[in-house]
Structure 1
């Protein structure tokens, strides 16, 4: 698997450079920013049916990979398809509360009760899938305490939760409520960067 990662690792710097954030304004938020975020969270609290497409970059500090992805969320069931641009190889992760299955890795389909552990074992990727489901909406994940900072637009610019630092360099403000267009999550040495090209909310 490391050989596969090195094949398309050359493209990772291109994606990560294209996704490089501008200097973000970070403040704890005034009453208006906190009220706007509370309204966003209320409107998106039950958002669990969507199709999300874009570019994904991942790094574990030694190996890196990048490519296109499609994330389909259907309630508690999901399908995440990752496609590498050079080899044309794809990985398909499906899951629900009953467990997860990963297709495309060496050795054939792999199954397990935990999707994050499955990706860690098969691909050597550290991707916080459970939290990312909330973070990709610009929301705090349930469970661990979270700290938010806001930009001048009163939208979240940084979220710190469960040891991860999540930054939001770009928002799609044509939507109501606004949705993130770029989501960068980092927990050294791990990095996960999403550049979102299209949202289809159901």
Structure 2
């Protein structure tokens, strides 16, 4: 009886250990069909510039990190990021291609012509806002070469552009075209992790 119990415990332990092992990510450069499907997605979403997403964001480098809930409202060229961190602390970044305002700092609001430089100076965060606007939709950003790898679902799994690796961990395939749910971008030593809980796209 004890031998059977030991065998049962060993089998259960093996199953638990197997469950803890992360699945290997299978990626392929993609064939002509996958690339054509991606081009169709990009054409369908190219004019999508009015939307709201909500979720979680985490930003880190080799020394510091920060995270919180995020609401991102994109209204044409104008955007509003609201990040609510622990202890009720929140930041609000509003702007357009030529100006940005960061609110929620201890010393009061600060502004400048470059939102990325503003975040870098105020918080030490390196966030590629210009490219992220395209990447968060699963699109290649304009202005630079990009390399794509695809997953078994025939959707982008890894996008490499402007020195960043954009890892698509999960997609919402209930939407057509599909939209990302988890976007992890890194450019050593910087990392940006975005987990999207909801998308709201304005009708076109």
- Provide the TM-score with structure 2 as the length reference: 0.87
CA RMSD of aligned residues (A): 1.0
Q: Which has the larger radius of gyration?
A: 2
1:150 maps to: 150
1:36 maps to: 37
Distance 1:106 1:129 in 2: 23
Task: Give yes or no for contact 1:24–1:169 (8 Å, CA) kept in 2.
Answer: no
Distance 1:191 1:132 in 2: 12
The alpha-carbon deviation at position 98 of structure 1 amounts to 2.7
The number of aligned residues is 181
Q: How does 1:10-159 map to 2 (within 5 A)?
A: 22-84=23-85, 86-159=86-159
1:199 maps to: 199
Deviation per CA, 1:38-69, whole angstroms, max 9, x where unpaired? 11000000000000000001102111111100
| Matched residue SS, 1:39 | helix
| Matched residue SS, 2:91 | strand
The alpha-carbon deviation at position 87 of structure 1 amounts to 1.3
Deviates more, 1:73-82 or 1:57-66: 57-66
Unaligned runs of 5+ in 2: 1-21
The alpha-carbon deviation at position 153 of structure 1 amounts to 1.0
- Provide the TM-score with structure 1 as the length reference: 0.88
Following TM superposition, the consecutive aligned residue runs of length 4 or more in structure 1 with deviations greater than 4 angstroms are none
| Matched residue SS, 2:117 | helix
Distance 1:120 1:162 in 2: 18
The alpha-carbon deviation at position 26 of structure 1 amounts to 1.4
Distance 1:106 1:127 in 2: 21
| Matched residue SS, 1:87 | helix
The alpha-carbon deviation at position 22 of structure 1 amounts to 4.9
Task: Give yes or no for contact 1:56–1:67 (8 Å, CA) kept in 2.
Answer: yes
